[in-house]
Amino acid sequence: MKSMQFARRSAWTLAWFIGGAAVLLVGCKGAAPVFKPAVSINELMVRWIDNAAHVLWDVEKVDFAPKNEADWIELEDHATQLAAAGSLIQMGGTGQADAGWIQQNGWKSNAQALTAAALADLSAAKSRNLSGVIKANGALVAACEGCHKDFKPDLPSEGVVHQRPHSESHKGNR
């Protein structure tokens, strides 16, 4: 009789243990992973966002308007980078001001404006619509200027600057 009671208690204990473990595993599985930024927002802005934006803005210059399929694909690539970057900068960075920026009112809406403008650029580039790219570029400029007005009126910072304008570094590639 004692062995039967022990077996029942063991079975119930095992059932509770397995059930509890399952609940914990399911609960943990849905938890977001901890995000640890690798660079500052400023570094991301100068080396990625600004570079990608200039590729789009440069289409308004005669020498940089898309002339072939490869040029249009390059515009699509850079618009996609900018759309993703709008989400990424909402997660912060390693810079001194980064943790504060992402907590302030307006940071998220400025980042979302960057993404929205980039998606409009992407759509226009996919349609091979130069006037649509130029129109979307206006929204991209507004998003960038609005964010800089609110969060970074003094440029540059952290010593990260372009070595030369984008159009000079890509001259001859077209």
User: Is residue 151 in some structural domain?
Assistant: yes
Q: Which two tokens stand for residue 94?
A: 């390693």
User: Is residue 174 in some structural domain?
Assistant: no
- Domain match, 148 and 115 both: yes
- Domain match, 9 and 86 both: no
- Domain match, 14 and 53 both: no
The whole-model pTM stands at: 0.74
Task: Determine the pLDDT at residue 12.
Answer: 42
- Domain match, 66 and 150 both: yes
SS3 content of the chain, % helix, strand, coil (to 5): 70, 0, 30
Task: Determine the pLDDT at residue 151.
Answer: 85
User: Is residue 128 in some structural domain?
Assistant: yes
- Domain match, 84 and 23 both: no
Q: What is the DSSP letter of 28?
A: H
- Domain match, 13 and 56 both: no
Tell me the per-residue pLDDT of 71-93, one tens digit each, with 9 for 90 and over: 999 999 999 999 999 999 999 99
- What's 71's domain CATH number? 1.20.120
Q: How far apart are alpha carbons 96 and 152 in whole angstroms?
A: 13
| Structural domain range at position 17 | 1-31
Number of domains the chain contains: 2
Task: Give the chain's residues under pLDDT 70.
Answer: 1-33, 155-174
Contact at 8 Å (CB) between 160 and 47? Answer: yes
- Domain match, 21 and 50 both: no
Task: Determine the pLDDT at residue 34.
Answer: 78
